[in-house]
């Protein structure tokens, strides 16, 4: 089978860059080329039997104004806030947004990734880390379509909005330590290999206690892996917080504070404590993370970590727009390569669910209740 001639083949034969070949053959003279260069490229293309690809269908032309967003779930307000940030910029620029909800399933993520070559969107945003199984595929896709990952792990090879979850866990722990909490619990969703960003937040929390010689002072309670395998519901993370707090209380663990991996889990923790007539923060302090809108409401007034979620969505979309605009501007015969990495410092937001540790522990408080 005869190998198909590409613009790279023409560039090598004509002694010019691939960018020059592309612009000359597509009649895009953003840069002034000499008549000799134009003649050489066109003649070489003819000799090699190169055919300029036909125009894409009108359907694909419409997709030039479409952004695709990969999202693991829409049940957590965290992802809704990211989408709000993305859609704000997209709307300003006249782009539509299509959301691919993978529901944390590998098969669904793979199906959506396969569709991208057909859909051919103007840009792709991952609101979480791609699964390890598809990371190479995502990096290859990023070479053809502007792609940004709102990332929770170490630097990736594509444009990313980075987040140091270890630092977030550390800030949570430091706040409780400063308030005198020496025996605490951390409640989290499943800490599977696929969800390493969760583990990093827990690790950051534990390490801060280890620095104080309190390595055994943190009780980690994580949900069973099955929670990541079932279709998530609106209250999935809330129920994780609620159920695991109930377990903690049944075990009569002596803690004065409980940290939830995120705000939704923290709400479940609070409800479980209050059901047992425990005061928050009088008996047990509670801290969450994400600063979702419910956390700010006066009734909840949750102490949490702000890491500027909507701004991350805006930044991700801004990067896509820059890439799209730069692709239409020829600066020289050599196409520049740029990779963006943005990171925000997490900030503690102290509200009404944390206070100084008291002598009354969860264990002692439970004893008083059960002896009545």
How confident is the model at residue 359, as a pLDDT? 65
Strands 304-306 and 347-349: antiparallel
How confident is the model at residue 284, as a pLDDT? 97
What phi, psi does 64 have (nearest 5°)? Answer: -65, -15
How confident is the model at residue 25, as a pLDDT? 80
Q: Specify whether the CB–CB gap between 13 and 46 falls below 8 A.
A: no
Q: Where in the chain is the domain with CATH 3.40.50.2300?
A: 59-163+309-344, 165-306+349-370
Hey, which CATH number is domain 59-163+309-344, 3.40.50.1010, 3.40.190.10, 3.40.228.10, 3.40.50.2300?
3.40.50.2300
Q: What is each CA distance from 287 to 68, 295, 305, 352, in whole angstroms?
A: 34, 10, 8, 10
* Alpha carbons 54 and 52: distance in angstroms, whole number: 6
How confident is the model at residue 219, as a pLDDT? 97
CATH number of 165-306+349-370: 3.40.50.2300
The one-digit pLDDT tens for each residue of the chain (372 residues) are 556 788 888 888 888 887 788 778 876 544 567 778 888 888 898 888 887 665 444 444 445 789 999 999 888 899 999 999 999 999 999 999 999 999 888 899 999 999 998 888 999 999 998 988 898 899 889 988 999 999 766 667 889 998 899 999 999 999 999 999 999 999 999 987 767 788 999 999 999 999 999 989 999 999 998 777 666 677 889 999 999 999 999 999 889 999 999 999 999 999 999 999 999 999 999 999 999 999 999 888 999 999 999 999 999 999 999 988 877 655 545 455 567 888 899 999 999 999 999 864 444 444 343 333
Q: What is each CA distance from 349 to 175, 198, 288, 290, in whole angstroms?
A: 10, 20, 10, 10
How confident is the model at residue 143, as a pLDDT? 87
């Amino acid at each position: 089978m005869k190998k198909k001639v590409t613009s790279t083949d023409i560039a090598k034969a004509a002694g010019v860059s691939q960018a020059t070949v592309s612009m000359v053959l597509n009649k895009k003279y953003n840069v002034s080329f000499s008549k000799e260069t134009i003649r050489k490229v066109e003649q070489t293309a003819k000799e090699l039997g190169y055919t300029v690809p036909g125009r894409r269908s009108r359907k694909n032309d419409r997709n030039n104004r479409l952004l695709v967003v990969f999202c693991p779930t829409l049940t957590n307000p965290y992802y809704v806030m990211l989408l709000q940030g993305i859609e704000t910029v997209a709307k300003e620029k006249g782009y539509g947004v299509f959301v691919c909800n993978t529901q944390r399933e590998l098969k669904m993520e793979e199906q959506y990734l396969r569709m991208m070559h057909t859909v051919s969107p103007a840009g792709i945003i991952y609101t979480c880390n791609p699964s390890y199984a598809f990371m190479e595929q995502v990096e290859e896709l990023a070479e053809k379509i502007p792609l940004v990952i709102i990332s929770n792990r170490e630097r990736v090879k594509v444009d990313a909005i980075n987040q140091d979850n270890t630092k977030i866990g550390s800030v949570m722990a430091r706040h409780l330590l400063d308030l005198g909490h020496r025996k605490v619990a951390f409640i989290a969703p499943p800490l599977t290999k696929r969800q390493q960003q969760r583990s990093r937040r827990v690790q950051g929390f534990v390490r801060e206690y280890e620095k104080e010689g309190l390595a055994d002072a943190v009780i980690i309670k994580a949900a069973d892996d099955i929670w990541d395998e079932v279709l998530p519901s609106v209250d999935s993370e809330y129920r994780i917080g609620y159920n695991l707090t109930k377990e903690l209380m049944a075990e009569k663990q002596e803690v004065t504070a409980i940290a939830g991996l995120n705000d939704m889990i923290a709400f479940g923790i609070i409800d479980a404590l209050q059901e047992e007539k425990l005061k928050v923060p009088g008996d047990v302090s509670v801290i969450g993370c994400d600063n979702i809108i419910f956390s700010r409401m006066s009734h909840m007034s949750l102490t949490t970590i702000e890491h500027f979620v909507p701004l991350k969505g805006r930044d991700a979309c801004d990067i896509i727009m820059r890439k799209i605009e730069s692709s239409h501007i020829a600066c020289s015969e050599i196409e520049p390569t740029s990779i963006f990495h943005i990171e925000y410092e997490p900030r503690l937001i102290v509200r009404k669910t944390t206070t100084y540790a008291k002598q009354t522990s969860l264990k002692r408080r439970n004893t008083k209740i059960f002896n009545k």
